[in-house]
Structure 1
């Protein structure tokens, strides 16, 4: 089950053209997930790279009990695309 802040999803849609409502479709397909330990966020954070309508996207998320809270979602950059392709092949 997924959850998010609806206002943040709307802002993300305006900025990146991606709605958090579509995140579950990314998790349902081939994806690469790793922990984001670059900073102390006060909680465990993860990054998932996966496909959405032919685009490679990046989702930042955190576990909240049995739910996954979506934090952000955007198009992958070239470094992230290379990371994905090295592990899972060309999208």
Structure 2
């Protein structure tokens, strides 16, 4: 499923430096689960999507800004995140 994504170019460069992946790759993600990120008060609702890019598990953090998906971070998913996803998917 392809989708449109917006992001700040400076944030994209920071994401590449930190995580080695461009926010431009977010639309390629085969999303399997979306969770509300309630770990902190960000001043806006943030979501964490878990899915795959080229068969590799990734985590996309994003928000909805006026009906547009605004990418905040894209990185390889941690093993713990994927285990949680698998256990929830299997009931």
TM-score w.r.t. structure 2 length? Answer: 0.85
Q: How many residue pairs get matched? A: 87
Q: Where does structure 2 lack aligned partners over 5 or more consecutive residues?
A: none
Contact 2:31 2:49 in 1 (8 A): no
- Mapped to 2, the partners of 1:14 and 1:38 lie a distance apart of 24
1:7-59: per-residue Cα shift (whole Å, max 9, x none)?
Answer: 11112112211100010111xx2421010112111100000001011210111
1:55 corresponds to: 56
Shift of 1:88: 4.6
Shift >6 Å, 4+ stretches: none
In the TM superposition, what are the counterparts of 1:3-82 in structure 2 within 5 Å?
Answer: 3-26=6-29, 29-82=30-83
- Mapped to 2, the partners of 1:23 and 1:51 lie a distance apart of 10
- Mapped to 2, the partners of 1:14 and 1:88 lie a distance apart of 32
